Every structure is written in structure tokens, then in C-alpha cells.
Amino acid sequence: MLINPNSGHLPTFPETRMLQEAFGLAGWQFTDLRDPQRIWTLQYFLSPIPGRALGGIRARFLDNKNFVSYCNQRDLEVLLGIGTPGRKCLWGGGLYPEVGDSDWYGLCVDGEDLTDDLQDRELRLRQSAPGILPTNMEMQRTVHDAGSDTSELLYLIGDMDFVSGYGPDMRIETIEQRWVRIERHRVEWTYV
């Protein structure tokens, strides 16, 4: 077991779900199971999402062409060799799946992951441009979700809390009010 996510509070960086602890795994790499030219690098971990069917912490991965994806703790433990397929996952209660089994998720994203990714990208923009981010800013991102790759174009409506009018607004709770997706299309990783 990497960590027992049910054991209590996991310290995060302020106003984010990014864990302060990387368990010595930041920079760990593995070769994609479908494409040996694609190398995934673990960036950091995020706190569990309450109510999610598969609990545990999440790992953010970036590949060698800057596609982002996430992996749940249970499947990551299998990839790391910590969890053995067919054996009980002590913190999750079920069995560790074999790669490719019907209950294997592997690298994928959902709405919460995309929100966390958007916050990560916004924080990086703030490091390079302190203060209020300019309205009408565009951001491109590439995402890998369970065997499918997409490119998205995001647009900043305004860097403020739209209720109070104050900015900059850095809260994850309001990030989807600041940014909208204006374009999304599938791409072939090989040709990117």
C-alpha cells in the first residue's frame, strides 16, 4: 500500500487538492502499455474526491508530448508493483485488478481531474504573470482519457469572483466560472 487514504487528513497546498507529499515518486516514469514511444511521468498526487466510486489519492501524469492524465491509487499501486492483481486492496476493500480487466481504469480523466488540471495550469500562469490575469486569455491543453486523446482550447472570461466582482480569484470552487472550453477535438498522439 502506498498510503492509507482513509487514515485522516492529507496535507495539501493552500486552496488546492495537490498533496504536499509525493512519497518519493515525483518523476517516476513508465512506458505506455499500448504505445512504447509514449512515456508517462508522475508529477504529483492529489487528495481523494469524496463520494467517488473508487477512492484513494490520485496521481497526475504528463507524457513526453505534454498530454495530461490521471491514475487512481489502486491502479497506480499495481503499476508500481505494490499491489498484486487478485489480492485484496487493504484500504479499498476490493481486489487489485489485472491491467486490462473490466474494472481497470488506468490513465483516465473525469470532470474533477480536469478541474484540478485547470487549477494547476492557472497557478503556473499566475507565477509568470502576477496580478489579475488578462480577460480573453486563451489556453490550449491536451488530455489523455482511457485510450482517447483530445486537444482543448480554454478561454478566460475574467479573473474575478463574479458575485463580488473582486479579483484575482484563485479558488478552485469558482474556476469553472472563470474559464470556459470553446473548442475540443480528438487528436492522434502519433501525429502531434
pLDDT at site 161? 86
List phi, psi (to 5°) of 147: 90, 0
pLDDT bin (cut points 50, 70, 90) of residue 179 is: very high
pLDDT bin (cut points 50, 70, 90) of residue 57 is: very high
Span 27-42, mean pLDDT?
96
Please say if the pLDDT value at position 166 is more than 90: no
**Which of 25-34, 141-150, 162-171 is the least confident region?**
162-171
9-18: long-range pairs with CB below 8 Å, 24+ = 10/47, 10/48, 10/57, 12/47, 15/170, 15/171, 15/172, 16/116, 16/119, 16/123, 16/172, 17/46, 17/47, 17/49, 17/116, 17/172, 18/44, 18/45, 18/46, 18/47, 18/116, 18/120
Q: Decide: 179 and 154 in contact? Cβ < 8 Å.
A: yes
Span 38-55, mean pLDDT?
93
Residue 19's CB: how many other CB atoms inside 10 A?
A: 20
Residues linked to residue 60 through DSSP beta bridges, in sequence order: 44, 70
Span 150-173, mean pLDDT?
92
Cα 72 → chain centroid: 10
As a whole number, the mean pLDDT across the chain is 94
